[in-house]
Every structure is written in structure tokens, then in C-alpha cells.
Amino acid sequence: MAEHPPVVVHPPSPSGGRRVTIRSAIAGLAYGLPDLLEFLRRAGLDPDAVALDDQALFDWRGGGPDVWM
């Protein structure tokens, strides 16, 4: 069975924001990249060292890093 990326950014919700899960745990609701980077930091990842287009790290669902609504 193939491994899934540890960070999943779910599709934008109708009320705004995107749910973020890290290692299958809900990290929170991100309304933009600053929120996502803070969730990564809290999970022990260095936000300055990640590439948002790294498909081994991120599973962007419903749009990439430029889609928040």
C-alpha cells in the first residue's frame, strides 16, 4: 500500500478556510498560508524548509496553495 503525504490540505469550505490534517490529526482550519505554516511549525516541521509543491509532503485537495476560498 502506498504511503500518503503527511500533510493534507482539504478543499475550501463554504464558510471559508481549509481544514489541515498532519499525520492524520486535525491541525486546524487555515485561512491562508500563514495559518498553514504555523500548523507545520506546531507539528515540528520547519516551515522555512518546506516546499509547498512537495508532493511527498503535501496532498492539496480542491486547489493548490493559492486557493483559500
5-48 pLDDT, tens per residue? Answer: 999 999 999 999 999 999 999 999 999 999 999 999 999 999 99
Contact, 12 vs 62, CB < 8 A? yes
| Whole-number pLDDT of residue 61 | 97
| Whole-number pLDDT of residue 2 | 55
Say whether 3 sits in a helix, a strand or coil. Answer: coil
Structure pTM?
0.92
Domain that holds residue 22: 8-50
Rg (CA), the chain: 11
| Whole-number pLDDT of residue 69 | 85
Residue at 43: amino acid letter = A
Cell 503525504 found at: 5
Position 42 in a domain: yes
Q: How many domains does the chain have?
A: 1
Position 21 in a domain: yes
Distance CA 13, CA 45 (A): 25
Position 28 in a domain: yes
